[in-house]
Structures are given as structure tokens and as C-alpha cells.
Chain A
Amino acid sequence: EAEVAQSPRYKITEKSQAVAFWCDPISGHATLYWYRQILGQGPELLVQFQDESVVDDSQLPKDRFSAERLKGVDSTLKIQPAELGDSAMYLCASSWGLSGNTIYFGEGSWLTVV
């Protein structure tokens, strides 16, 4: 069964350092999402791509976070500089198209900022 691949699975970084997460969606999925999930809460959307274009990044803290999907396939989420409050699981997900389609999540990337 096709899966959404994410790496790294776990990352510990010091405050003020840069960190990056990578995601490879299910083949053929045009829509890619990055969600952040704080322990004990539901996932919250950071950014949504349709192919290589950003559809929604209204909740992305753009002073420190950036996301790209240059060729409309895999994607990178970067945080610079990392802050203690960024400790969370970063989930990548993909779907065939915009709303109403099943969204498939990866296993997530756990970030701990010390």
C-alpha cells in the first residue's frame, strides 16, 4: 500500500538552530499538506499545496517557517530559528485533490527543541 514518507522521524535541536523536514507524498497526489500536532491536541494546518502552488499558508508563522514544493512532488518544511514552543509532531499528508478527498497522513516527524 502506498504511503506518505517523512524524514527524519525524530529530531532534537537546540533553540535558535535551523531544522528541516522532508515529505514524499503518495504518487499522483496533487495536494500536499503540512500539519502541526502538539501533544494532546488535534492536527493544525500549517500549509496546503496544490501541485507546486501554495493554496493556504495563512496559519504558517512566516517569520520563521517556510515550505516549498518546487516540482510539485516532494516537499520541505523549514524552521529557522527554532523556538522551544515549536516542539511538536509535524505531519505531512496528501490527497488526490482539494477538499472532499481522503487525506492520507505520514508517520510524522517529532521535533524537540531544547
Chain B
Amino acid sequence: QQQVKQSPQSLIVQKGGISIINCAYENTAFDYFPWYQQFPGKGPALLIAIRPDVSEKKEGRFTISFNKSAKQFSLHIMDSQPGDSATYFCAASGAGTALIFGKGTTLSVSS
């Protein structure tokens, strides 16, 4: 099965700092790259998504950077807050396939 590789597995950031999570994919047919946020005991919720025709997308404090040639994309959380502490999943899909998820990054923002 095609994979989406996510790193780091866990991340600790000071309040106000920048959190950066990276993902790499293999299948060049993928054309949709979302990030999901999941709190304990809850289902994943869409945070932000990007398509390969743009290199960056920003929504509030969250930015996706996309590098098509390197087959990599990353999530940047600016001014990280304790409320951002959660597990983040990158994912990818394309050509009628369902989302394939990375293994997740547990983010802890210390106050």
C-alpha cells in the first residue's frame, strides 16, 4: 500500500513558538493533501488542505508548504498555544482513492 511518512513522532514546543511537522509521499498520482487534528477520544477534524498546483496555503496560524518535486509537504503552526496540543495527521489521496494517513505527530505546547 502506498505510504505517507510523517515526522517527528512527537514534538514539544514552547508557547508562542513555531511547530513544524513534515510528511513525504510516494505516489505521484496523489493530488489532495490535508492535515487533520485529533484530540483524545475524538475523531480527526480537518485543519487545512492543499492541492499540488500551489506551493503554500495559509489559514490563520496554520500554513502548509508543498514541494511537488521532492514529494514533501509540511505543516507550520505559528504562535503555538497550549490549546494546539493534540495529535496531527498528514494524509494524501488521488485518483478516486480514499485518504491514506501518516502515523501521526503528538504535539505538546508548554506554557
Q: B residues near A, CB below 8 A?
A: 1, 6, 31-32, 34, 36, 41-46, 49, 51, 89, 91, 93-104
Contact = CB atoms under 8 A, between A and B. Distances in A.
A103 B46 contact: yes
Nearest to B96: A98
Interface in A56-114: 56, 59, 91, 93, 98-100, 102-108
Nearest to B92: A99
Interface residues of A, number: 24
A55 to B, nearest CB: 7
24 contacts: A33-B98, A33-B99, A40-B104, A41-B104, A42-B89, A43-B89, A45-B100, A48-B98, A56-B97, A56-B98, A59-B1, A91-B44, A98-B96, A99-B94, A99-B95, A99-B96, A100-B32, A102-B34, A102-B46, A103-B34, A105-B36, A105-B43, A107-B42, A108-B42
Nearest to B43: A105
B1 A103 contact: no
Contacts of A99: 31-32, 93-99
Interface of A: 4, 33, 40-45, 48, 55-56, 59, 91, 93, 98-100, 102-108
A99 B96 CA distance: 5
B97 A108 contact: no
Consensus secondary structure, chain B interface: loop
A45 B31 CA distance: 18
A108 B43 CA distance: 6
Contacts of B1: 59
Contacts of A107: 41-43
A6 to B, nearest CB: 8
Contacts of A44: 101
Given A33-B98, A55-B96, A99-B93, 12 more contacts: A40-B104, A41-B103, A42-B91, A43-B89, A45-B99, A99-B32, A99-B95, A100-B32, A100-B94, A103-B99, A105-B43, A108-B43
Contacts of B96: 55, 98-99
B76 to A, nearest CB: 20
